Amino acid sequence: MKTSIIELKGLTKTYGLTHVVDNLDLNIEKGEIFGLLGPNGAGKTTTILMMLGLVEPTSGTPLISGHNATTNPISIKSKVGYMPDNIGFYDQMTGLENLMYIGQLNGLSRFEVEKMAIEVMDTVGLSHAINMKTATFSRGMKQRLGLAEVLIKQPEIIILDEPTLGIDPTGVKAFLELIKQLSHKKGLTVLLSSHHLNQVQQVCDRVGIFVKGKLLAEGNISELSKKLFPEASYQIYLTLKEPIQIPWKDQLDLMQLHHIEKVTIKENQIHIACNKDLTPDIVRFMATKNYDIIGVHQKEYGLVEIYQKYFENPT
Ligand SMILES: Nc1ncnc2c1ncn2[C@@H]1O[C@H](COP(=O)(O)OP(=O)(O)OP(=O)(O)O)[C@@H](O)[C@H]1O
């Protein structure tokens, strides 16, 4: 049975007359990687701060691991690791010293902290930098050390605010891979707040699209795509060896396959929009009619299209 580790119930924050977060209901399961997406000012950080017990909601409840973050912020502190978008370190201390300092602040004894810090440096791929001063760290190394600081607290949930800001594409890929591995191996729940749709798509199991304090939609990419593009969830493109004569003599027969919404022909290309994946049936049909198929591919709607659709037509 799935267990919600994060349960936001009717969460609302009002500044003046503005509902910055507006009656937000959201459940995140244990071990899930959830992407919180939204433009600047959507209310993502305010939501995170309420989950951490650092901002008091106007109404509603943020339940984290069964604890109310508003009334019991101390118990949340040991369960949640938060990596803000601007992380600071003591520049003249080494990576290991920074990490040991944070570990001790979080209650680890002097004896256990060094062993644990070395282990965590290894987990985030910074073993080589243990004795380097953080002033000499690259941006990517600093992000990894930021993640190490979160991990040394041994949290159940990690919250990352724009974690890949300023890292080069190779670094981003490696960092996201690390997050995924951590979540899968250690059963960590991850909440990732970001503007970078492609990155969120690569790593998140589910996403929430957040605009003006409201969660407009949530689900995995394929659920969101079906909800937003119900008329044609599957787009199948066939390339034939020879061009097709229009009107196409076999079109009516093809339409006998249920679930086809639309057929468009352009020279040797056929584009078929369906509300079910009919690729094998269509290929079989074309083969029985003796067409030579030289290419078949499907277009899938990704997060970029989903996000654009919400902003073109936010209802
Ligand atoms: N303490 C505050 N007092 C008044 N307004 C605030 C306060 N904190 C945040 N806001 C307003 O709430 C809105 C949401 O801000 P928030 O930082 O939560 O958005 P965000 O989605 O995290 O944006 P970004 O992606 O830019 O970080 C903004 O309009 C912001 O100006």
Which part of the chain is CATH 3.30.70.2470? 230-300
What pLDDT is recorded for position 299?
79
User: Which pLDDT score is estimated for 12?
Assistant: 97
Segment (H or E) for 175? helix 169-186
pLDDT of amino acid 253: 94
pLDDT at position 236 is 92
Q: What's the 121 CA to ligand 1 centre distance in angstroms?
A: 33
Residue nearest to atom 17 of ligand 1 (CA): 45
Instruction: Take residue 224 and report the two structure tokens written for it.
Output: 């969101």
Q: What are the residue ranges of CATH 3.40.50.300 in the chain? A: 4-226
Distance 284 CA to ligand 1 centre (A): 55
Asked if residues 209 and 201 have their Cβ atoms less than 8 Å apart, the reply is: no
- Count Cα neighbours of 14 within 13 Å in the Cβ-side half-sphere: 8
pLDDT at 85: 77
Confidence at residue 302, expressed as pLDDT on a 0 to 100 scale: 72
Binding site membership of 42 for ligand 1 (Cβ less than 6 Å): yes
Asked if 225 contacts 300 with a C-beta cutoff of 8 angstroms, the reply is yes
Element (H, E) at 264: strand 260-266
**CA-CA distance, 71 to 113, in Å (whole number)?**
30
Quote the pLDDT of residue 267.
94
| Structure confidence at residue 314 (pLDDT) | 53
Is the full-model pTM beyond 0.90? Answer: no
CB 118: neighbour CB atoms within 10 A? Answer: 15
Structure confidence at residue 2 (pLDDT):
65
From CA 189, how far away is CA 151, in angstroms rounded? Answer: 12
Query: b vs e for 211-227, b when ≥16 Cβ sit within 10 Å of the residue's Cβ?
Result: bbbbbbbbeebeebbee
Q: Is 15 in the pocket of ligand 1 (CB under 6 A)?
A: yes
d(CA 40, CA 141): 26
Ligand 1 mutation target, pool 13, 20, 58, most atoms within 8 A of CB: 20
pLDDT in 10s for each residue of the chain, 315 residues:
567 899 999 999 999 999 999 999 999 999 999 999 888 888 999 999 999 999 999 999 999 999 999 999 888 888 899 988 778 889 899 999 999 999 998 888 888 899 999 998 998 889 999 999 999 998 888 988 999 999 998 899 999 988 887 777 888 888 888 889 888 888 899 999 987 777 887 889 999 988 889 998 888 877 777 777 766 568 899 999 999 999 999 999 999 988 898 899 999 999 998 878 899 999 999 999 999 999 999 877 777 777 777 765 555
Tell me if 146 CB under 6 Å of ligand 1.
no
- Report pLDDT for 239: 96
pLDDT at 261: 86
Which pairing describes strands 206-211 and 214-219: parallel, antiparallel, or unpaired? antiparallel
For tokens 């920074």, the residue is 98
Q: Which tokens hold the place of 304?
A: 């970029």
CATH superfamily of 230-300: Protein-tyrosine phosphatase receptor IA-2 ectodomain (3.30.70.2470)
CA distance 184 to 230: 32
Instruction: Choose which residue among 12, 13, 14, 15 to substitute to test ligand 1 binding: the one with the highest number of ligand atoms within 8 A of its C-beta.
Output: 15
CATH value of 4-226 in 3.30.360.10, 3.30.930.10, 3.40.50.300, 2.40.160.20: 3.40.50.300
